[in-house]
Amino acid sequence: MAQTMFDPASFTQNSCTNNNEWTTWFDSSDPNFTQGEHEITKHIQQLFPGFMCPDPIAIEAQTVTDGSPTQTGDVIRLTKDDGFMCLNQMVTDFKTKLCADYKVRYCCPTSSIGKPTIQTIPPVISTTRPTIANTCGRQVITPSYQRIVGGTEAVAHSWPWIVSLQSRDHFCGGTLIDNRHVVTAAHCIDSTNFRVIAGLHQRTNINGPRSQILGVQRVFVHEQYNKKTEANDIALVRLAQPAQFNDYVGAICLPGPDPQESERVTVAGWGVLSENGNSASSLRQVTVNVMNNQAQQAYRNSFDVRQQIGAGIPNIGGKDSCQGDSGGPLMYNANNQWYLSGVVSFGDGCGAAKYPGIYTRTSAYLTWLRSKMNTP
């Protein structure tokens, strides 16, 4: 199968000269079985406006691992305007072949790199900020960046997208992805008989001035959620009334860039402080590192890196996240916006060394989430 590395095909590595130059490499998505693998030009322009240009001259694609796109056997399409697409999932005989992970870069006029394609929308200081790509994942109250083994109390309202699912008390965390929808873990849901509390810091202060108590209209649990293996541990909650966005309540971004091995990510929740302990009274946070390799070794039979992320504190163990944090966010900061990279799913105890916490990889479920968000 003919595979083009450059578009236009007549282009070569050395063609990008004179007043043009190659951008940095972009790897904005990971391959998965449902969606294949895509590095979309528009998406990259939105995600990395400082490193991209509005009108690229050419595109180059390579595999992330060995830089050799012609060895993979994937069915691909490459155009500078649309980007890179692996189409295995659309072609008979290729449906079961997982696409390799690709990265792309663009040849751009030097003067236009970093010139945003989309006009920057000025910050709206109102209670009705729209949840478009420019405003999601940005908080008014700056979070603590201290890295403390075992976690630390969060700065109040510095994670405005985190919500508490409560029946009698807090039982799981969740994350606002717009003003009507909360992402949580499938294993958190056994009925629709709970409330969602936004704008919360002290777990029990649900009648506080910044708290919003929101009813539940509908819950979508992933159809392939497997209680035994915790595969597809993701659910979407539709609120009965929209959350009011303000300085204390807002939405996180959906991926977006995915954190790579050993990169830092942050987990926050009211989860128990030690195994079989009590829930925390205030929201807590901990910074951990992506440890997919260790997760693979620790949970050989149940860890799938295409659909899950492993994260913990290398060599020290210490607390990562415990069961009370379930459903809450694994957050990744890229270009000053926070992304919902994972949903707290399971772990072997609370931060035992060599057993990273396991998170449902949100980027593998974007199509699922969007289809549920659009379901009446």
In the complex, which residues of this chain contact Ca ion (CB under 5 A)? 27, 101-102
Specify whether the CB–CB gap between 34 and 86 falls below 8 A. no
Q: Measured from the CB of residue 363, what is the shortest distance to Ca ion in angstroms?
A: 10
Closer residue to Ca ion in complex, CB, 23/134: 23
Closest CA to 324 of 290, 350, 286: 350
Specify whether the CB–CB gap between 326 and 271 falls below 8 A. yes
Active-site annotation holder among 7, 74, 178, 233: 233
CB atoms within 10 A of CB 233: 27
Helix and strand element counts for the chain (H, E)? 3, 21
Q: Measured from the CB of residue 190, what is the shortest distance to Ca ion in angstroms?
A: 36
Active-site annotation holder among 38, 157, 187, 201: 187
Any bridge partners for residue 220, and if so which? 236
Active-site residue, 178 included: no
| DSSP code for 207 | T
Q: Measured from the CB of residue 236, what is the shortest distance to Ca ion in angstroms?
A: 25
- What does the DSSP assignment read for 82-114? TEEEE-GGGSTTTTTSPPPPEEEEEEEEGGGTT
| DSSP code for 41 | H
Specify whether the CB–CB gap between 52 and 108 falls below 8 A. yes
Active-site residue, 326 included: yes
Q: Measured from the CB of residue 101, what is the shortest distance to Ca ion in angstroms?
A: 4
Any bridge partners for residue 236, and if so which? 183, 220
Q: Measured from the CB of residue 63, what is the shortest distance to Ca ion in angstroms?
A: 9
Closer residue to Ca ion in complex, CB, 37/325: 37
Dihedral sign, Cα of residue 310, residue 312, residue 314, residue 319: negative
Distance CA 145, CA 147 (A): 6
Active-site annotation holder among 326, 341, 345, 363: 326
Closest CA to 242 of 207, 215, 203: 215
Q: Measured from the CB of residue 39, what is the shortest distance to Ca ion in angstroms?
A: 6
Catalytically active residues are 187, 233, 326
